Structure 1
Amino acid sequence: MFRKTTIIFLFSLFSISILLARKENAFARIDSLINAVSEKPFNGIVLISWSGEVVYQKKQGYSDLIKLIPVEDNSRFVIGSISKQMTAAMVLQEYEKGKLQLNDPIKMYLPELSQEWADSVTIHDMLCHTHGIVDYNRPSLFPAGEKFAYSQIGYQILSEIVERLNNDNFKNLSLQFFRSLGMYQTSFPDTDSVYLVKGYYEEENSNIKEENNKTEYVPAGGFISTAGDLLIWNNNLYGGNILKEETLSRMFTKQPNAIRSHPIFGETDYGYGITVDTTNDIVQLGQTGYAPGFVSMDFYFPESKIGVIILENIAYDVDDIKKTFFYHTQILNIVRKDLIMNK
């Protein structure tokens, strides 16, 4: 009995050592990528987690290119569309409280909406971008639920519904939500500017210029956060601490007609505020994010419990979004290849 137990224990240690060696190899490839001499060097932070703990973290470049202030662990970035899954989770909490139903038309909560689409577009349609709304005062592009059209205004309208249900503004409600999760560095961009890095973009002449534009719809793409806080987010969301298992399953389910021709990944399925990828039988959940001067990514692989968080504050090649996300997609591909090898 002792011998059998010892053999099992030694085999487990051997398996873990092989897994760690493979991960170290993947980390070395990421190091080579972001340390390579380049006219467009990586400027930001990479954080990779395993079972909720940091196993790789790399900071490079500056939060202020003029003052040469380096990027730090607590540097805060605009996270773009990663914000949508947070807003979606807040909406789904209202669903769990019984304050709304996913198939309710949005006019039930915002009766002042005057367009005909308000009577047919549902909460569900808003969550998975199948509503077709482009403006508060214009007709929708197509009948509700018919097809997909990626939207910022949809998540703004969802935030207004959350406001109405709670008789408070979304800035306060989201701040309370983040603090309840232990995310003390995540907020609206105008709530606290401490450690907020400057965003930059590359002009046609290759000069790097500071970006001054602000995100119009914060609930859709304007929250600011840190790599560490996004790790806390992932641990809470995928750990089942925010939503019940059944609700979480809805959020992570590919929704009918919610299929986007993604500018980076091609045909992409959406759940609620999040993309759902099952290529090569590897489940990948998460989102890229782009805001003027900020390029971000947060993906999670639930089967292996690996998370990939990348925040950058220089947007290169802004006319070619694939090139803008060069470092992000290369790092993600390194992680995915490692996962395929380990299957």
Structure 2
Amino acid sequence: MNFKKSLYCLWIYIFISLIFFSCQKVEKKQFEDSYISAIDSLIESTTVKPFNGVVLMVKDGKQIYSKTQGFANREKKIPLTPENQFVIGSISKQITAVMILQEYEKGSINLNEPIRTYFPNVKQKWADSVTVHHLLTHTHGIRNLNEPLAFPLGSKFEYSQLGFKLLANILENVKKQSFEEISTTFFKTIGLKHTAYPSIENKKMITAGYTETESGNIIYEENTFQNYVAAGSFISTAQDLVKWNTLLHNGKLLKNETFKLMTKQYETRKHPIFGSIEYGYGLTFQKNEQDIQIGALGFAPGFVSSNFYFPQTKTSLIILENTAYKLPNFKKTFYHHTELLKTVKNNNQPN
């Protein structure tokens, strides 16, 4: 009798458990459907400029959301595909930072040594005090290679494309190769097959970039590559940027101690879109949110991009557009990006 009673209780327990887990699955499915619907609503909204680009979200290796909308070439009416390559703007900086840090791990570069070591012929005295760390954190004060520092070294943050051009030159000095050769080898080694230095040949594969004029016309952008490559002109795809995040945030590119250096809070910047944000080496985050949301926005004429990673759930959100609306109002230019980030961050909590 006791055996039958125990067996009966076991079956009741199993039955209740099945109902409980089934309800959990239904609730999770309803939540995910609602979540995806909210993202779709943002992308397809008719109250703002039409989204023209690619959105990809991957959580712990599983694709959660993918959307491709608009044209790769407006004149020829060629639709975008997930495989299209975009210029990724300042997302390039974290790539350059990793290449510098890999040489640091080898002992080829000292982060706190004056850059005179790498530029013995520079006439300005700042070469005897500015370090690689200053270049990585935008605190060096170099505005022109032939002029003194614009402010006392390390006294403030001033966003600098030139600083990352100097980092590329340091890599060339150390490795005795061109930055194009260095980055090409780097991408091949880590398996990013669709990420590249924008050489003449590689530029043929990039989707066309467009800019909205003050009169509201959309024109082909001819000045996309005005930024230094190391600072803002690498090209990539959404899929490759997900791979990049997976490698970077899972210890495949840097040692743990070095990655902590990269994601350390060094400087605060008054950002035109996010307000007050913190800077590491090529990566940005809200104050003390390195473990919540970390990444970067990117802009190159005709291209608007975002690459953010949510470490707690191993989630990547990539947004790549090839049409820049509402310039110079970057808050409106990056409207889809900031709204999608809010949605993903608010719903992307650990289980």
TM-score in same-fold range (> 0.5): yes
RMSD over aligned Cα atoms: 2.4
Identity of matched residues, % = 44
Q: In structure 1, what is the Cα distance between the partners aligned to 2:336 and 2:143?
A: 31
Query: What's the CA shift string for 1:311-340, capped at 9, x where partnerless?
Result: 001000012010000011111111112136
Comparing 116-125 with 78-87, greater Cα deviation is found at 116-125
Q: Which residue of 2 is the match for residue 91 of structure 1?
A: 100
Cα distance in structure 1, aligned partners of 2:171 and 2:100: 6
Closer, same or farther: CA 99–207 of 1 in aligned 2, 3 Å: same
Q: Cα 1:17–1:176, aligned 2, differ >3 Å: closer, same or farther?
A: farther
- Deviation per residue, 1:220-243 (Å, 9 max, x gap): 000010001101111111111000
Q: Which residue does 1:293 correspond to in 2?
A: 302
Q: Which moved more, 1:321-330 or 1:49-58?
A: 49-58
Following the alignment from structure 1 to structure 2, what is the Cα–Cα distance between the partners of residues 282 and 115?
Answer: 40
**Aligned residue runs from structure 1 range 219-230, under 5 A:** 219-230=230-241
Would the aligned equivalents of 2:227 and 2:300 in 1 still touch at CA under 8 Å?
no
Mapped to 2, the partners of 1:7 and 1:241 lie a distance apart of: 43
1:53-68 to 2 correspondence within 5 Å? 53-68=62-77
Give the secondary structure class of the aligned counterpart of 1:175.
helix
Residue 158 of structure 2: aligned partner: 149
Q: Name the counterpart of 1:205.
A: 215
Partner of residue 308 from structure 1, selected from 302, 311, 317? 317
Q: The residue matched to 1:304 in structure 2 has which SS?
A: coil
Deviation at 1:128, TM superposition (A): 1.1
- Select which of 108, 124, 130 maps to 2:133: 124
Alignment-derived partner of residue 189 in structure 1: 198
CA distance in 1, matches of 2:230, 2:180: 9
The one-character-per-residue Cα deviations of 1:101-153 (angstroms, maximum 9, x if unpaired) are 11011111111222121111111111111111111112222222211011101
Match of 1:246 in 2: 257
Aligned to 1:235: 246
Write the letter of the residue equivalent to 2:50.
Answer: P
Cα gap change, 1:110 to 1:66, in 2 (>3 Å): same
Residue matched to 2:144: 135
Q: Write the distance in 2 (CA, Å) between the matches of 1:10 and 1:248.
A: 44
Deviation of the 1:63 alpha carbon: 0.6
TM-score between both structures, scaled by the size of structure 2 = 0.90
Amino acid at match of 1:314: T
- Partner SS state of residue 203, structure 2: coil
Gaps of 5+ in 2: 1-9
Structure 1 stretches of 4+ moved >3 Å:
1-21, 278-282
2:278 and 2:287 in contact (8 A); partners too? no
Distance 1:20 1:158, change over 3 A: farther
**What are the superposed Cα offsets for residues 40-87 of structure 1, whole Å, 9 maximum, x if unpaired?**
200000001101332111000001000011111110100000000000
Contact persistence 1:23–1:338 (CA under 8 A)? no
Contact conserved, 1:105 with 1:121, CA < 8 A, in 2?
A: yes
Structure 1: unaligned runs, 5 residues or longer: none
Look up the match of 1:110: 119
Larger radius of gyration: 2
Q: 1:134 to 1:32 in 2, by over 3 A?
A: same
**In 2, Cα distance between equivalents of 1:3 and 1:165:** 70
